[in-house]
Amino acid sequence: MHADFPWLVEHWGLDGGAIRKLVGGVIDSGRGVGGVVDMLREHVPTSAAVLAKMNLIKAALQSSCATGDARRRREAQAEMVEALQDRGFEVNNADRATVGVLRSELSALRASKEAKLAMEAERKETEARMIHPGHLVTHQTDPDGLDSRDLRHVDETYELWSCCGRGPKSTGCILPSH
């Protein structure tokens, strides 16, 4: 869409109503409002006046964000509010408390995601350093389907090299001793 936007504006134009519908649709979807606002400001000179009259932060706070999941909706609303505030949109006095709570929830969520990613990276690094010892395992030969001529050439047991399995509950996996 980013590459086609200037062409659409040049050939089809965007009036105030189209700008309101476009931004309203993006807010209802819950994604990408910052990029759309940036494109409008860059390619449509009249968009600044239309956007200034719209209460985009209030619309973002009321958006369903095209999801039934309350946690995802709060996250999307917080991301939209943050993107709009970063682009200079002001918060009404009535919405300041709600925006403050949303922004703090978003910060906590991001910190939680970063902590999870760090723990996962550490777990993978530890797992990659582990030594997975192998050992010989003796198996019984299955003589079913063999006739007496074939059985002359088959041993009763055979050995296969086996690893610990490398699973999370594997036994025998050890960290190298450095």
Q: Are 103 and 145 in contact (CB under 8 A)?
A: no
Q: Taking the model in full, what pTM does it have?
A: 0.60
Tens-digit pLDDT profile for residues 29-87: 888 888 888 888 888 887 888 888 888 888 888 888 877 788 888 888 899 999 999 99
**Which DSSP letter does residue 15 get?**
-
pLDDT of residue 170: 64
Candidates 45, 51, 77, 78; CA nearest to 64 is: 77
Q: Are 158 and 138 in contact (CB under 8 A)?
A: yes
Write the single-letter amino acid at 178: H
Q: 1 to each of 4, 5, 8, 36, how far by Cα in Å? A: 5, 6, 10, 10
pLDDT at 114 over 90: yes
Q: Are 14 and 41 in contact (CB under 8 A)?
A: no
Ramachandran assignment for 88, one of left (phi > 0), alpha (psi -120 to 50 degrees), beta (any other): left
- Hey, which residues does 162 pair with through a beta bridge? 135
- Hey, which residues does 131 pair with through a beta bridge? 174
pLDDT of residue 3: 62
Average pLDDT over the chain, rounded to an integer: 82
Candidates 30, 27, 26; CA nearest to 1 is: 26
Domain map (residue ranges) of the chain: 5-127, 130-178
Q: What is the percent of the chain with per-residue pLDDT over 90, rounded to a whole number?
A: 10
Dihedral, CA of residue 73, residue 101, residue 78 and residue 53, to nearest 10: 110
